Amino acid sequence: MKIMENYSLKSLNTFGLKVDAKYFAVVASLDEIKQAGKFADKKAVSLMVLGGGSNVLFRGDFPGLIVRNNLKGISVIDETDDYVFVKVMGGEVWDDFVSFCVGKGWGGVENLSLIPGSVGASPIQNIGAYGVELKDGFFELEAWFWKTSEMKIFSKNECEFGYRSSIFKKKLKGEVIITSVTIRLDKNPRLKTGYGAIKNELEGIINREIGVRDVRNVIINIRRSKLPDPVELGNAGSFFKNPVVSSAKISKLKTEFPEIVSYQQADGSYKLAAGWLIDKCGWKGKRAGDAGVHTEQALVLVNYGEATGNDILNLAKEIQKSVFEKFGVKLNMEVNVV
């Protein structure tokens, strides 16, 4: 394993921020993971695992060791009449895994198409889109603890999944590297096409049964039409979580804002569309220097070229302030600020 010093992370974070890591290493085996942990201990520096760099905002250079997860492999480990259990190594690209499953005709992850990042990062965030979250088909994962040098298997309950959250984003933040994730997939897919945009697109398909590939293609088209390509314009996708409010709060909001976009949850609470709230505060298309809000999707903050992490963070805080002042709703950031 090669340790590189003062390594540029510009191409390894989707905001395209010009930051460096004091130390950088790519790990492709458990042995190299162990070596990285020992190196960080020896140098007495902090250690951070970087997947696809699609959900992180660096405020400046990283003073410790950045580890890039490059563990590869996809394998079927169990199968029943109805399900197939697929183990995916943490360094695989998430959307490559989705493409693999769709190619096999297995259902469960097609709604999560084109979400950027690595498989190892997906449980941390409990990634989700269009009515599906990672936890829905999750079976178990393996994680290596840096401090104790031990591998542990986590069940779904042990991961403590929540809305864009997990135990790895809270109690165990920075303590592990997720080496593999096992997903349970349906051999007889039960498609989730209730979201309006998906339903409308699929209505054009007639004279044949709709399958997982159709759903994947529609979602790819929708995402590409709404979200900027990080290669062309630096961004991390959705910057804020959709806030959840009580039934009493939504009733009050609807009195003043009858057109507010909300979705009732199973527990009786309501999820609000953060992008709508931000748009109604007049932020869509606004910019402060090279930090800005996307012209088509107010939920996405962008780097027009020379913005720093602090520039983007300051803009985010201004947005949070204005949304709270107008609606009395707190917006929480989805990205990991480092």
**Which of 92, 133, 201, 334 does the annotation list as catalytic?**
334
Distance, in Å, from the CA atom of 254 to the CA atom of 231, rounded to the nearest integer, reads 39
162/133 Cα distance (integer angstroms):
10
Residue 141 · residue 178 · CB < 8 Å = yes
**Cβ proximity of 118 and 55 under 8 Å:** no
Q: What token pair was written down for 101?
A: 């499953």
Rounded distance between C-alpha atoms, residue 242 and residue 244, angstroms:
7
Per the annotation, the verdict on 164 as an active-site residue is yes
**CA geometry: angle at 47 spanning 97 and 24, to 5°?**
75
Sign of the torsion angle spanned by Cα atoms 165, 166, 169, 171? positive
Closest CA to 110 of 221, 214, 263: 214
Which among 54, 99, 166, 238 is annotated as catalytic? Answer: 238
Q: Which of 164, 166, 184, 201 is catalytic?
A: 164
Q: How many residues in total does the chain contain? A: 338
Neighbours of 283 (CB within 10 A): 22
Say whether 59 is catalytic. no
Q: Which residues are bridge partners to 177 per DSSP? A: 144
287 is catalytic: no
* Run of H or E residues at 247: helix 247-256
Residues carrying an active site annotation: 164, 238, 334
